[in-house]
Amino acid sequence: MIYLDNAATSFPKPEIVYEAVLNNMKNYGANPGRSGHKLALEAGRTIYKGRELVCRLFNIDDPMQIIFVSNATDALNLAIKGVLNQGDHVITTSMEHNSVLRPIKAMEANGVENTIVQCDNRGVLDPQLIREAIKTNTKLIVTTHASNVTGTIMPIEEIGEIAKKHGILFLVDAAQTAGVYDIDVEKFHIDLLATAGHKGLMGPQGTGILYIKEGVEVRHFKEGGTGSKSQELLQPLMLPDRYESGTPNTPGIAGLAAGIEFILEEGLDKIRKHEEGLTQYFIEGLKKIPEIKIYGVQDAAKQAAVISINIGDEDSSEIGYVLDKVFDIGVRPGLHCAPMAHKTIETFEQGTVRFSIGYFTKKEEINAALEALKNICEQL
Amino acid sequence: MIYLDNAATSFPKPEIVYEAVLNNMKNYGANPGRSGHKLALEAGRTIYKGRELVCRLFNIDDPMQIIFVSNATDALNLAIKGVLNQGDHVITTSMEHNSVLRPIKAMEANGVENTIVQCDNRGVLDPQLIREAIKTNTKLIVTTHASNVTGTIMPIEEIGEIAKKHGILFLVDAAQTAGVYDIDVEKFHIDLLATAGHKGLMGPQGTGILYIKEGVEVRHFKEGGTGSKSQELLQPLMLPDRYESGTPNTPGIAGLAAGIEFILEEGLDKIRKHEEGLTQYFIEGLKKIPEIKIYGVQDAAKQAAVISINIGDEDSSEIGYVLDKVFDIGVRPGLHCAPMAHKTIETFEQGTVRFSIGYFTKKEEINAALEALKNICEQL
C-alpha cells in the first residue's frame, strides 16, 4: 500500500524503533522505577533517556518536567483541565482538533468561559484576533501548531509573545509538527507543550508527551502507585511522578526514544525539507487537475505535510474508498475529528480527502497518487 | 537474571506476544478506527479481537463494554471516580494497592465517604466486616482479588453476593490474578473489573483493561477525537468510544491479545497449577530456613504466586540489593505501593522482600532463590 496517512500515525517507523521496542520487551522487560534490580533499573534508565531526548528536541532544561502519557489527547486533557478553574477564560482557534475543543467545551460546565477565534477559510489565524479576545480572566491560550486538516501553520511565536506579555499560559498542540519543525519552548514562550509520540516523533502508538514549564501548577487527575513516597495515601506532588501513576508504557517509550534519536541524527532540517519538497510537488501536481479543489494555503513553506482536497462535489469518503480499493493508496477522508476546522474551510458536509506525507514517503508515491486522482477525475 | 518480580510485570512474555507487537508495527501500523483504508481496518480488527478475547476470558457478553486503558491504575481511577458522587460511601479493604486507596482518599475532598475494612495480619478479609460496613449511601465496594504484598486471595464471590443483595456496585482489582485465576463476572457479580494487561495477561506494558457492566453509568474524564460522531463538540456517549479518546496503543493491544490467546491455549488451570506448585514448593523451602519470617496465609491454595518474607530485622531493601548484586535474582523489596497492607501485616517500617512467580518460572530458579536466602542468612 502507498501510505499517505502520516498525520494519523507515521508509518513505517525507522528500523531502530522496532528494535528498541523489541529489545526492551525481550531483554529488560521489567517494571521501571519500582523494584531496583538490574532489569528494573535498565528499564528506568530508558525512560529517563526518553525524557532527556525530548528535552534536547524542544530545548527544555529539566527532564523531570516531561510527562509521558498515552497520546496527545491525554496530554491536552491534562493540560487544559489541569490549569483552568471556575471563572477562568480560555482562548483557542476554530482550526483545533476535537482533543482541544471537546475538553474546552466540557469545561463550560465547570464555569470556564471560552473564546474560539475564527480563522479564515484557508485556516490562517490572525494573531491580532487572539490579542483582541484577551479578557481580564484569560488564563490560557491553546493553539495547534499546524492544522491536522489543512496543514496550515499557526504563528505560534507571535502568539507566544502575546501570551507572555499578558501573563497568560500558552499551550501548544504539536501533534502535527513535533519531529519535523523546530519547536523551542523558550523562544516561543511555551508553558505547556502537548504532542503525540507516534506521529512525527516516529515512536509507537500508545505514547504521548506533556511538557510542563517549571512552576506552572497543573492539577492531577489520577492517583496510584508511583514507586515514590509509597508510605503515603496522598499522591506525591513531585514531577513527573505526580502525573505518571501506574506502570508506564516502557516498550513504547523505548521506541519513542529511538524515534527521537533517529530524528536528531537525521536533523530536523533534512526531515522538514523532504516533507516540504514533496508537499510542494504534490500541490503543483494537484493544481494541474482542474476538477480538484485544494484547501489551505497551498504553499509548503506555510503548511505541514498535510494536504486536503475534494473532487467537485463528490463525497470525500467515496474518493477515499476508491483510492484504497482500486489504487491501494491509504488516505483519510471525512472530518478528521476537527468539525470546526471543516466549518472554517467550508467543507463541513463534504469533508475532505486528506493526504499526509511522512519522512519515508517517496516521490514515486506522490506521482502514483496524482495519477490515481487524474484517473478518478476522468472516470467521473 | 533469575526474574522473580512477576507481580510487577510478567517477564518474559510468550514469543507470540513479541511477534504480535512487531507484526502490528511493521505490517499494519496504521491508526485503527479512523481512516478506513486497508491498514487502518486491519489495526481496528486487531483491537476488536482483543476485546473479544478479554470477553472470553472473563465471561463477558459484549466486547463494546471492554475499555482499553494504559494500566490498571488508569482503569481503577476511571471506575472509582466515574461512579462515585458527592454524598456516596465506598467500602474497601486495608490490603489495597495505592491505585485503589489514593483515588478513594482523594475523593474525600469531593464529599465521598469511605470505610476501609481491616484485614487480619495475614491479609485475610472477613466478608462479614464488609456486610457490617454497608450504609444506606454505600454506592461501591472495591477489593483486590489478591494482595500484591502477600498474595492473599480475597473472597470475591462472597463479596459479590453481598454487593448484589444490597444493590451496591462491585469493582474488583484483578491486577494480580487475571490470566491465572478463573474470573467470571457473571458468577462473581462483578460490575466493574479493572486489571493490568502486562502482568498475568502477558501483554506489553502500557496496557490495561476496564470492563463496565452494561447499564453501569461511569463518568468520563477525557474528551477528544474518537473517530465517531466527529461533527459534534460533545464527547460521544457510546462505548467504548466514550472512554477511548485519541489514538490507542495498538501494538500494545495486539500484544495483549496474543497474550490472552496464549493463556486460552494453555488453559488457566495449567497456568494456575504451575504457579501454585512452585509457590507451595517455595513456601515449604522457606519454612526450613529458621531466620526467615514468611507473611500471608502460607498456603498456595489460598494465595496468588506472591510471597513476602523478611530475614530477622534486616532492611528489606538491603536483602533485595544483595539478591540482585550477589545472586543475580530480581525481586521487589519495600512497600510495594501498598502502605496500608504493610501496616496490616505489621511490616510498615521494614517493608518485605517480595518474590513473585510467573508461568515461565522454573523449579531450578526457586531452588536458586532458596539457596541464596540460606546463604544470606548464614552470612548475617
Inter-CA distances, A25 with A11, B14, B180, Å: 21, 11, 21
Q: How confident is the model at residue A175 (pLDDT cuts 50, 70, 90)?
A: very high
Residue at B337: amino acid letter: C
User: Do residues B211 and B66 make contact, with C-beta atoms less than 8 angstroms apart?
Assistant: yes
User: Do the Cβ atoms of A249 and B340 come within 8 Å?
Assistant: no
pLDDT at A298: 98
Q: How many CA atoms lie within 13 A of B153 on its CB side?
A: 19
Please give the average pLDDT of every successive group of 10 residues along chain B, which has 380 residues. Answer: 98 98 98 88 97 98 98 98 98 98 97 98 98 98 98 98 98 98 98 98 98 98 88 92 97 98 98 98 98 98 98 96 97 95 96 98 98 96
- Residues of A within 8 A of B7 (CB-CB) are none
Q: Are residues B25 and B119 in the same domain?
A: yes
Residue A71 has its nearest CB partner, among B73, B246, B320, at B246
Chain B nearest C-alpha distance from A144 (Å): 14
Q: Which residues contact B73 (CB under 8 A, 6 or more apart)?
A: A222, A224, A225, A245, A246, A247, B99, B208
pLDDT at A259: 98
Inter-CA distances, A243 with A69, A365, A377, B275, Å: 8, 41, 51, 34
Residue A99 has its nearest CB partner, among B9, B246, B332, at B246
Q: Are residues A159 and A303 in the same domain?
A: no
Please identify, among B204, B234, B266, the residue that sits at the C-terminal boundary of a domain.
B266
Q: How many CA atoms lie within 13 A of B112 on its CB side?
A: 23
pLDDT at A95: 98
What cell numbers appear for B356 in the block? 513473585
Q: Are residues B235 and B309 in the same domain?
A: no
Chain B nearest C-alpha distance from A224 (Å): 4
Q: Are residues A188 and A318 in the same domain?
A: no
Q: Are residues B252 and B292 in the same domain?
A: no
Q: Which residues contact B167 (CB under 8 A, 6 or more apart)?
A: none
Please identify, among B266, B289, B323, the residue that sits at the C-terminal boundary of a domain.
B266
pLDDT at A151: 98
pLDDT at B230: 81
Verify cis geometry, omega within 30 degrees of 0, for the bond prior to A12.
yes
Number of structural domains in chain A: 2
User: Do the Cβ atoms of A71 and B34 come within 8 Å?
Assistant: no
Across chain A, mean pLDDT equals 97
User: Do the Cβ atoms of B330 and A35 come within 8 Å?
Assistant: yes
Q: Which residues contact B347 (CB under 8 A, 6 or more apart)?
A: B295, B308, B310, B316
pLDDT at A108: 98
Which helix (H) or strand (E) segment holds residue A157: the answer is helix A156-166
pLDDT at A193: 98
Domain CATH for B210: 3.40.640.10
Verify cis geometry, omega within 30 degrees of 0, for the bond prior to A290.
no
Chain B nearest C-alpha distance from A199 (Å): 10
User: Do the Cβ atoms of A18 and B38 come within 8 Å?
Assistant: no
Cα A117 to its chain centre, rounded Å, is 20
Please identify, among B214, B237, B266, the residue that sits at the C-terminal boundary of a domain.
B266
Chain A nearest C-alpha distance from B205 (Å): 5
Q: Are residues B278 and B357 in the same domain?
A: yes
Domain range spanning residue A300? 2-10+267-379
Residue A341 has pLDDT above 90, yes or no: yes
Helix axis angle, A15-27 to B15-27, nearest 10°: 170
Which candidate in A11, A18, A98, A230 is best for mutational testing of the B interface (most B CBs within 10 A)? A98
User: Do residues B32 and B250 make contact, with C-beta atoms less than 8 angstroms apart?
Assistant: yes
Q: Between A359 and B229, whose confidence is greater?
A: A359
User: Do residues A32 and A379 make contact, with C-beta atoms less than 8 angstroms apart?
Assistant: no
pLDDT at B119: 98
pLDDT at A214: 98
Q: For cell 525481586, what's the residue?
A: B331
- Residues of A within 8 A of B77 (CB-CB) are 221-224, 245
Q: Are residues B124 and B90 in the same domain?
A: yes
Assign 3-class secondary structure to chain B.
Answer: CEECECCCCCCCCCHHHHHHHHHHHHHCCCCCCCCCCHHHHHHHHHHHHHHHHHHHHHCCCCHHHEEEECCHHHHHHHHHHHHCCCCCEEEEECCCCHHHHHHHHHHHHHCCEEEEECCCCCCCCCHHHHHHHCCCCEEEEEEECECCCCCEECCHHHHHHHHHHHCCEEEEECCCCECCECCCCCCCCCCEEEEECCCCCCCCCCCEEEEECCCCCCCCCCCCCCCCCCCCCCCCCCCCHHHCCCCCCHHHHHHHHHHHHHHHHHCHHHHHHHHHHHHHHHHHHHHCCCCEEECCCCCCCCECCEEEEEECCCCHHHHHHHHHHCCCEECEEECCCCHHHHHHCCCCCCCEEEEECCCCCCHHHHHHHHHHHHHHHHHC
Q: Are residues A71 and A210 in the same domain?
A: yes
**How much is the average pLDDT of A228-248?**
92
Query: What is the distance between the alpha carbons of residues A181 and A155, in angstroms, rounded to a whole number?
Result: 13
Q: How many CA atoms lie within 13 A of B220 on its CB side?
A: 23
Q: Are residues B101 and B75 in the same domain?
A: yes
Q: Are residues B173 and B64 in the same domain?
A: yes
User: Do the Cβ atoms of B97 and A224 come within 8 Å?
Assistant: yes
Chain B residue with the nearest C-alpha to that of A43:
B205
User: Do the Cβ atoms of B5 and A321 come within 8 Å?
Assistant: no
**How much is the average pLDDT of A279-296?**
98
Query: What is the distance between the alpha carbons of residues A166 and A141, in angstroms, rounded to a whole number?
Result: 11
Chain A nearest C-alpha distance from B92 (Å): 14
Q: How confident is the model at residue A229 (pLDDT cuts 50, 70, 90)?
A: confident
* Structure confidence by residue, pLDDT tens digits, A64-111: 999 999 999 999 999 999 999 999 999 999 999 999 999 999 999 999
Chain A nearest C-alpha distance from B330 (Å): 5
Query: What is the predicted ipTM?
Result: 0.97
Which candidate in B94, B104, B231 is best for mutational testing of the A interface (most A CBs within 10 A)? B231
**How much is the average pLDDT of A295-314?**
98
User: Do the Cβ atoms of A205 and B330 come within 8 Å?
Assistant: no
Q: Are residues B145 and B230 in the same domain?
A: yes
Q: For cell 492539577, what's the residue?
A: A219
Q: Are residues A275 and A196 in the same domain?
A: no
Residue A315 has pLDDT above 90, yes or no: yes
Number of Cβ within 10 Å of residue A340's Cβ equals 23
**How much is the average pLDDT of A248-276?**
98
pLDDT at A241: 95
